[in-house]
Amino acid sequence: MTAQIIDGKALAEELRQSFKARVEALAAKGHRPGLVVILVGEDPASEVYVRNKVNGCLAIGMHSEKITYDAAVDQTTVLKKIAELNADPNIHGILVQLPLPKHFDEEAVLEAIAAEKDVDGFHAENVGALAQGNPRFIPCTPYGVMKMFEKGNVDLTGQEAVVIGRSNIVGKPMALLLINAGATVTVCNSRTKDLLAHTRRADILVAAVGKPRFVTADMVKPGAVVIDVGINRLPDGKLCGDVDFDGCKEVAGQITPVPGGVGPMTITMLLANTIEAAERKAGL
Ligand code: NAP
């Protein structure tokens, strides 16, 4: 059996096209959605991510700008800028690219963003709302995964879902979304005793580990939906996921590739969150 591929690239493109009309409707009422991305330091990977976020906005008619700081900037300067942006009526979304340099208190910076402009969904108030099943902003990567389930007609109710990874940006919010959708959820981490026993009974398996080809075919239940969140750079420069795609596609029922799977969905859902923020502000 060869699994059906859930094509994140195609879905991302379809969604971005559909966003254009919403952006124009908002702009016509004087609320063109605006996103500011703050980048501290010169990490090359972060620079690429930030450029893609800004360009993604501009391509669908949104306003977007990047604010960059030298790695040595003090936290107070960045907090002052966030306060200014919180008060700016033309800005609907504020995102601070992580990771921040070591002298920053990451939590304090994320909490400084007004909760109604926190389009990454990392503010404690928004995390709490998600945990209560009443989300305001869903963190972009797991939000993208939920859209992929929708596209693949995956009914999550009553399904055994296993998430490998418990990070604040992927694993935990993913687990909360699956719980809210009615799945029975297990979250595994590096100390999980018998990982295989968990993954083998998963109808839905989400890998957010950060280790190339960590999930192998023997770990997958036949017919399972396998979502690969991982983005790993191999020594030859190629990208690969946390799932051994070639092996697992022979066992799974549906599977996401890397590249072209969850990756393109993440920025797409950032656009979605910023548009939603602007729609809320416009009273739509
Ligand atoms: P992270 O913060 O490093 O978390 C990795 C998680 O995997 C941790 O909870 C860790 O457990 C767990 N883990 C590590 N080894 C394990 C093992 N042997 N068995 C079970 N669990 C294990 O990473 P992240 O930020 O969640 O990202 C995960 C992957 O997704 C990375 O490849 C990242 O690049 C990618 N990512 C992709 C997107 C996208 O847009 N597609 C967005 C974000 C991240 P402990 O907590 O016990 O250490």
Token look-up 């859209």 returns: 147
User: 139-263: same fold as 29-123?
Assistant: yes
For residue 33, the CA-to-ligand 1 centroid distance in Å is 31
Ligand-binding annotation for 231, yes or no, is: yes
Residue 223 is predicted with a pLDDT of 98
- The set of catalytic residues is 53, 97, 120
Residue 148 is predicted with a pLDDT of 98
DSSP 115-152: GGG-TT--SHHHHHHHHTT--SS--HHHHHHHHHHHHT
Taking the C-alpha atoms of residue 65 and residue 123, their distance in angstroms, rounded to an integer, is: 21
Ligand-binding annotation for 136, yes or no, is: no
Residue 97: HSE in the Cβ half-sphere, 13 Å Cα cutoff: 27
Ligand-binding annotation for 166, yes or no, is: yes
Q: Pick the residue whose CA is nearest to atom 41 on ligand 1.
A: 263
Domain covering 139-263: architecture: 3-Layer(aba) Sandwich (3.40)
Q: Is the pTM of this model over 0.85?
A: yes
Name the CATH superfamily for 29-123: Leucine Dehydrogenase, chain A, domain 1 (3.40.50.10860)
Residue 272 is predicted with a pLDDT of 98
**Structural domain spans, the chain:** 29-123, 139-263
Tokens of 66: 């990047």
The 8-class DSSP code of residue 36 comes to: E
For residue 20, the CA-to-ligand 1 centroid distance in Å is 33
Residue 132 is predicted with a pLDDT of 97
Angle at 21 between CA 34 and CA 282, to 5 degrees: 50
Q: Pick the residue whose CA is nearest to atom 16 on ligand 1.
A: 190
User: Mapping DSSP to helix (H, G, I), strand (E, B) and coil, where does residue 246 land?
Assistant: helix
**Residue 267 carries which side chain, given as an amino acid letter?**
I
Each residue's pLDDT expressed in tens, for the chain with a length of 284 residues? 699 999 999 999 999 999 999 999 999 999 999 999 999 999 999 999 999 999 999 999 999 999 999 999 999 999 999 999 999 999 999 999 999 999 999 999 999 999 999 999 999 999 999 999 999 999 999 999 999 999 999 999 999 999 999 999 999 999 999 999 999 999 999 999 999 999 999 999 999 999 999 999 999 999 999 999 999 999 999 999 999 999 999 999 999 999 999 999 999 999 999 999 999 999 98
